[in-house]
């Protein structure tokens, strides 16, 4: 009986002779770099994908390299050998925001090869239950009436979480909310639950949803254009603040120069793996949306679109990252 990884190999062989020539790839574990500390939204995607790849590609080892708003992890992949054994789970922070707002030791377009778009996720505007607000409008009113007393934590200066928070401040006319950067969303969530910070702007994922339902934090709104399929009870921020939409495209990237046949092999395995109904249900329940087109070409277009979208916003707020 053929195993799933054999099906992938046969499918690739049928596509092209060069793909068949890569029949021995991979012959050792693949390293997937997650550019954030453990516990954030990226882990929610990385680890199920890695588990799914066991029967399709082989062993995938997830390595969390946080710091510099996700630039450290991205830089490690950009410097890696382009042989298909080092991949980046990249998103807007490492590949859009950081290159625009400051110096990065890599070019998001020239130094990476898009492999597949995995998920799209929104952000949450969440508060500690002790804060006397239950709706987004009440949060806005509280912030306006208590300038400088309300602060929010993000995954780091220049992260999409940070920019989402700043976009909210601008659109809600609440400039007195103070930003507190963390080294990743996980530590920010931990401090919110402990009552050390009253508000956070985390990526919307299963962990945040579970904490919300357990009453350990309160999600007031999500930044998707429509209510999430997995949590339709949560209002969108745009229902209260028109235009308050922020999304992150999360996908696989390889170092530039990685052979096309290897990229195609990883994409084909990912396409099969991400088609698994249980995995899809798991990701939807965790608050993610699944793209209709997950191809390398679509990932490249998404990257270009996000660079065009956030460049004027970053310039408008004068964000500069060292």
pLDDT one-digit tens code per residue, 130-165: 999 999 999 999 999 999 999 999 988 778 888 999
Higher pLDDT, 153 or 308: 153
Query: Is residue 284 very low, low, confident or very high in pLDDT (cuts 50, 70, 90)?
Result: confident
Instruction: Provide the pLDDT for residue 270.
Output: 97
Instruction: Provide the pLDDT for residue 23.
Output: 55
Instruction: Provide the pLDDT for residue 3.
Output: 45
Mean pLDDT computed over every residue of the chain? 89
Domains 4-121+248-317 and 124-239 share a fold: yes
Nearest to 161 by CA among 307, 40, 321: 40
Query: What would the mean pLDDT of 96-111 be, rounded to a whole number?
Result: 90
In the chain, what are the domain boundaries? 4-121+248-317, 124-239
pLDDT in tens, 181-213: 998 788 999 999 999 999 999 988 888 999 999
The answer, yes or no, to whether residue 317 has pLDDT greater than 60, is yes
Instruction: Provide the pLDDT for residue 8.
Output: 46
Instruction: Provide the pLDDT for residue 48.
Output: 95
112 beta partners? 255
Q: What whole-number distance in Å separates Cα of residue 104 and Cα of residue 100? A: 9
Q: Give helix 160-171 / helix 296-317 axis angle, nearest 10°.
A: 50
Query: Is residue 83 very low, low, confident or very high in pLDDT (cuts 50, 70, 90)?
Result: very high
Hey, how many other C-beta atoms are within 10 angstroms of the C-beta on 178? 14
Higher pLDDT, 320 or 53: 53
The pLDDT > 90 percentage for the chain reads 63
The answer, yes or no, to whether residue 106 has pLDDT greater than 70, is yes
218-222: strand order across its sheet: 178-181, 151-154, 199-200, 124-127, 218-222
The pLDDT > 70 percentage for the chain reads 93
The CATH T-level fold of domain 124-239 is D-Maltodextrin-Binding Protein; domain 2 (3.40.190)
Hey, how many other C-beta atoms are within 10 angstroms of the C-beta on 105? 12
322 beta partners? none
CB 279 within 8 A of CB 135: no
pLDDT in tens, 8-41: 444 444 343 344 334 589 999 999 999 988 877 7
Instruction: Provide the pLDDT for residue 174.
Output: 96
The answer, yes or no, to whether residue 247 has pLDDT greater than 60, is yes
Query: Is residue 4 very low, low, confident or very high in pLDDT (cuts 50, 70, 90)?
Result: very low
Instruction: Provide the pLDDT for residue 12.
Output: 45
Q: Distance of CA 292 to CAs 135, 159, 191, 223, 299, Å?
A: 32, 26, 36, 20, 12
User: Greatest CA span in the chain, whole angstroms?
Assistant: 68
Query: What would the mean pLDDT of 226-238 be, rounded to a whole number?
Result: 92
Q: What whole-number distance in Å separates Cα of residue 14 and Cα of residue 7? A: 11
| Whether domain 4-121+248-317 has CATH 3.30.420.40 | no
Q: What whole-number distance in Å separates Cα of residue 243 and Cα of residue 220? A: 16
Structure tokens at 20: 């068949």
89 beta partners? 252
In SS3 terms, the chain reads as CCCHHHHHHHHHHHHCHHHHCCCCCCCCCEEEEECCCCCCHHHHHHHHHHHHHCCCCCCEEEEECCCHHHHHHHHHHHCCCCCCCEEEEECHHHHHHHHHHECCCCCCCCCEEEEEEEEEEEEEEEECCCCCCCCHHHHHHHHHHCCCCCEEEECCCCCHHHHHHHHHHHHCCCCCCEEEECCCHHHHHHHHHCCCCCEECCECCHHHHHHHHCCCCEEEEECCCCCECCECCCCEHHHCCCCCCCEEEEEEEEECCCCHHHHHHHHHHHHHHHCCHHHHHHHHHCCEECCCCCCHHHHHHHHHHHHHHHHHHHHHHCCCEC
Is the N-terminal amide bond of 26 cis, ω within 30° of 0? yes
């Amino acid at each position: 009986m053929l195993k799933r990884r054999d099906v992938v190999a046969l499918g690739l062989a049928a596509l092209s002779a060069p793909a068949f020539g890569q029949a021995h790839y991979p012959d050792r574990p693949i390293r997937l770099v997650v550019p954030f500390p453990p516990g954030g939204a990226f882990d929610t995607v990385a680890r199920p994908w890695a588990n799914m790849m066991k029967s399709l590609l082989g062993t995938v080892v997830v390595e969390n390299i946080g710091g510099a708003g996700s630039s450290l992890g991205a830089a490690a992949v950009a410097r890696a050998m382009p042989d298909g054994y080092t991949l980046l789970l990249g998103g807007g922070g490492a590949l859009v925001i950081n290159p625009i707002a400051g110096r990065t030791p890599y070019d998001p377009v020239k130094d990476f090869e898009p492999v597949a778009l995995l998920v799209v996720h929104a952000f949450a505007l969440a508060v500690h239950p002790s804060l006397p607000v239950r709706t987004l409008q009440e949060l806005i009113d509280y912030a306006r009436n208590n300038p400088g007393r309300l602060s929010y934590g993000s995954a780091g200066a220049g992260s999409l979480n940070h920019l989402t928070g700043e976009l909210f401040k601008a659109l809600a006319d609440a400039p007195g909310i103070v930003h507190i950067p963390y080294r990743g969303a996980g530590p920010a969530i931990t401090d919110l639950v402990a009552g050390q910070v009253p508000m956070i702007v985390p990526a919307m994922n299963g962990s945040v949803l579970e904490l919300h339902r357990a009453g350990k934090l309160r999600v007031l709104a999500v930044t998707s254009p429509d209510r999430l399929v997995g949590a339709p009870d949560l209002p969108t921020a745009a229902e209260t603040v028109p235009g308050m939409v922020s999304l992150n495209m999360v996908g696989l990237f390889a170092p530039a120069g990685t052979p096309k046949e290897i990229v195609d092999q990883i994409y084909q395995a990912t396409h099969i793996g991400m088609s698994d109904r249980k995995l899809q249900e798991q990701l939807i329940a965790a608050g993610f949306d699944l793209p209709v087109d997950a191809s390398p070409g679509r990932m490249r277009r998404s990257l270009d679109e996000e660079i065009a979208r956030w460049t004027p916003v970053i310039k408008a707020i004068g964000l500069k990252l060292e």
